[in-house]
């Protein structure tokens, strides 16, 4: 039987491309890694070329194209300048006409959708994809398919999707079985919990759809009466619909997408950390209520979650700890970037169904889905620079030795991770027991806000030593947070949250990444610590590095002194 290729495309915020071969993701990449513009918004033409070239196939070999939106929003905002103008006007409440023109089902809206779809089709035809191969998949269905088909389960799974908005809704409750994914409740985008969080992010001077994690990281530092006051203010905005508690419903007149002016009035002169803490508490409480109602309604206690709000690892922790939740899977890096995967999964599952077969889609497993770095690429890039470098017989041992000596080492080796989390192959590593490493990494390269924690990569054999995971939920993707154990906390103090001592770990499996496992294992032999501090390899405000040129550029423009680039140790 011939191979079946499906190319999934997310054309929007944090655009991406994924290639599905016979039900398995062969390669996936975000456009930001190629354009070097963080969270790139627009048509991912570079990613399409990259995926085809790395997979050694042509456009003719692709059987189906899956675009992850039915609406296909106006491409005029598909530049950073256009996007920021759109954001600023929308968030300042001056964009009401946009609501009237594009967010209601009117003839003008339907015309816009048809026009934008036709533009995408023509763009794809120019690349070499015929019109008959192109499919459009609903935004939230893409989120649901990504979470469900990436999970280990193919029966009786409750899927929840939650984000700012996409194709007219912001939340969905889905029941799944086999190839069936059925939505049983949806929340219109005007009642969006995600929008409240992103608008609050903007109110506090940060970039919406990008810096929400900073609000989450700040929240544990604020406690007391003012936090409760902020929480009570947020509670006045949104709740579950009493007539249908699977749906969110706003308690204010204006849509949540236009709540900015209300924020400025309600939170004038309130300290920013209290706002962050109140917002985080409100978000967690709302999600927990919603999850409980969904389980109560369906009786399903196995959950798969997708959508950008579930990037909130503290809210995920609350879900995990609910007694009603028996099994839990959260789509790795579950923002819009993974919709290219979900759209491809869905189109492939429908193809199999049409042929009277069940979709043979395996769980996603390790998400090292980008390209590798070849020795030729490394040597070519090194010849252009004056760094000292040496090819090592055992680079993993060299890295662990440097870490044990207190050095900070960047690593760019093997296939690149997909998504927002660096999982060892495009990471900056350090001894997690030395709290001074946090300041040094921030000073030399990361420039992160002082309150933001780094994360630990922990050997699977050492998990119980460092974190409390009562249900044994798998945690290989840094998408869940856990309480840490008091008796061993000092060993990873530099890689946990300083206010509440939680950790957002990557539990490292040798079969998933043997070389990274070897580094941590050898570090344990030298120090007795079965974990390393891990943060993404990038300058602040830039995407994670992709190849040798990116890695060496960061080294040139930072205080970084040691870089493991493939088998080469580069120093300055």
Q: pLDDT band for position 353 (50/70/90)?
A: very high
How far is residue 350 CA from its own chain's centroid? 26
pLDDT at 21 over 70: yes
For residue 433, the Cα-to-chain-centroid distance in whole angstroms is 27
pLDDT of residue 440: 93
In this model, does residue 107 exceed pLDDT 80? Answer: no
**Which neighbouring-strand residues pair with 186?**
172
- Evaluate whether 311 touches 335 at the Cβ level (below 8 Å): yes
Q: Percentage of residues in the chain with pLDDT exceeding 90?
A: 84
Mean pLDDT of 116-120: 90
Mean pLDDT of 527-540: 97
Q: How does strand 409-412 pair with strand 562-565?
A: parallel
Length, in residues, of the chain: 572
Strands 169-177 and 180-188 turn out to be antiparallel
| Residue 548 CB neighbour total at 10 angstroms | 25
Round the average pLDDT of the chain to a whole number and report it: 93
CB contact at 8 A, 244 and 185: yes
CA distance 91 to 310: 22
The enclosing H or E element of 55 equals helix 45-55
**565 contacts 552 by C-beta, under 8 angstroms:** yes
**Who's near 487: CB < 8 A, 6+ residues apart?**
none
Backbone φ and ψ of 464, nearest 5°: -65, -20
Q: What is the mean pLDDT of residues 398-418?
A: 98
Within this chain, domains 5-141+339-354 and 149-332 share the same CATH topology: yes
E strand or H helix at 289:
helix 272-298
Parse the chain into domains and list their residue ranges. 5-141+339-354, 149-332, 375-571
pLDDT value at position 87? 52
Q: What is 5-141+339-354's CATH superfamily?
A: ATPase, nucleotide binding domain (3.30.420.40)
CB 34 within 8 A of CB 64: no
Residue 94: its pLDDT value, please?
37
* Mean pLDDT, range 35-39, rounded to an integer: 93
pLDDT reported for residue 260 = 87
Report whether pLDDT(97) > 50.
Answer: no
Mean pLDDT of 474-481: 98
**Tokens 């030395």, residue?**
434
Q: Is the pLDDT of residue 433 over 80?
A: yes
Give the mean pLDDT of 211-218.
94
Residue 533 makes CB contacts below 8 A (sequence gap 6+) with: 429, 430, 431, 432, 437, 438, 441, 454, 455, 456, 492, 494, 495
High-pLDDT (> 70) share of the chain, %: 93
Summarize the confidence of residues 502-510 as an average pLDDT: 98
User: Tokens 């929480």 label which residue?
Assistant: 231
Give me the CATH code for the 375-571 domain, please.
Answer: 3.90.870.20
CATH superfamily of 149-332: ATPase, nucleotide binding domain (3.30.420.40)
């Amino acid at each position: 039987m011939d191979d079946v290729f499906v190319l999934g495309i997310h054309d929007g915020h944090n655009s991406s491309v994924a290639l599905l071969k016979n039900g398995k993701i062969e390669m996936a990449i975000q456009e930001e890694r190629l354009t070097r513009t963080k969270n790139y918004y627009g048509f991912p033409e570079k990613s399409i070329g990259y995926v085809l070239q790395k997979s050694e196939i042509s456009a003719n070999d692709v059987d189906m194209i899956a675009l992850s939106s039915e609406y296909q929003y106006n491409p005029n905002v598909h530049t950073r300048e256009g996007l920021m103008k759109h954001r600023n006007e929308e968030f300042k409440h001056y964009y009401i006409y946009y609501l009237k023109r594009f967010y209601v089902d009117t003839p003008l809206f339907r015309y816009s959708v048809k026009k934008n779809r036709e533009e995408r089709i023509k763009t794809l035809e120019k690349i070499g994809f015929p019109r008959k191969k192109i499919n459009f998949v609903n935004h939230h269905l893409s989120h649901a398919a990504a979470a469900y088909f990436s999970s280990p389960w193919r029966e009786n799974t409750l899927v929840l999707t939650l984000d700012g908005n996409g194709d007219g809704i912001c939340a969905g409750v889905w029941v799944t079985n086999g190839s069936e994914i059925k939505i049983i409740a949806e929340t219109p985008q005007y009642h969006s919990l995600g929008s409240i969080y992103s608008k609050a992010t903007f109110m506090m001077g940060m970039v919406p759809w990008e810096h929400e994690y900073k609000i989450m990281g700040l929240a544990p530092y604020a406690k007391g009466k003012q936090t409760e006051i902020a929480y009570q203010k947020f509670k006045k905005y949104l709740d579950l619909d009493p007539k249908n508690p699977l749906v969110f419903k706003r308690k204010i007149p204006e849509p949540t997408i236009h709540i900015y002016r209300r924020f400025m009035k309600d939170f004038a002169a309130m300290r920013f950390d209290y706002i962050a803490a109140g917002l985080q508490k409100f978000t967690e409480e709302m999600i927990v209520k919603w999850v409980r109602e969904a389980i109560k309604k369906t009786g399903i206690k196995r959950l798969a979650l997708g959508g950008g709000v579930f990037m909130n690892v503290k809210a995920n922790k609350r879900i995990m700890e609910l007694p009603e939740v028996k099994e839990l899977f959260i789509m790795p890096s579950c923002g819009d970037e993974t919709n290219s995967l979900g759209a491809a999964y869905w189109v492939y599952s429908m193809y199999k169904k049409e042929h009277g077969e069940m979709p043979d889609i395996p769980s996603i497993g390790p998400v090292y889905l980008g390209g590798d770095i070849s020795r030729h690429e490394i040597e070519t890039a090194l010849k252009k620079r004056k760094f000292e470098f040496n090819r090592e017989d055992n680079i993993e041992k060299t890295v662990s030795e440097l870490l044990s000596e207190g050095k900070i080492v960047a690593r760019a080796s093997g296939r690149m991770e997909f998504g927002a989390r660096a999982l060892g192959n495009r990471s900056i590593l350090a001894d997690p027991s030395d709290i001074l490493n946090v300041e040094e990494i921030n000073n030399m390269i990361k420039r992160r806000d002082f309150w933001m924690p780094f994360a630990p990569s922990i050997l699977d054999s050492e998990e119980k030593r460092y974190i409390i995971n009562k249900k044994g939920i798998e945690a290989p993707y840094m998408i869940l947070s856990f309480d840490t154990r008091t008796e061993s906390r000092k060993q990873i103090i530099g890689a946990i949250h300083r206010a509440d001592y939680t950790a957002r770990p990557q539990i490292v499996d040798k079969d998933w990444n043997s070389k990274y496992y070897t580094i941590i294992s050898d570090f344990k032999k030298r120090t007795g610590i079965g974990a390393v501090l891990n943060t993404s390899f990038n300058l602040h405000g830039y995407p994670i590095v992709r190849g040798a040129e990116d890695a060496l550029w960061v080294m040139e423009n930072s205080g970084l002194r040691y870089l493991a680039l493939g088998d080469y140790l580069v120093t300055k």
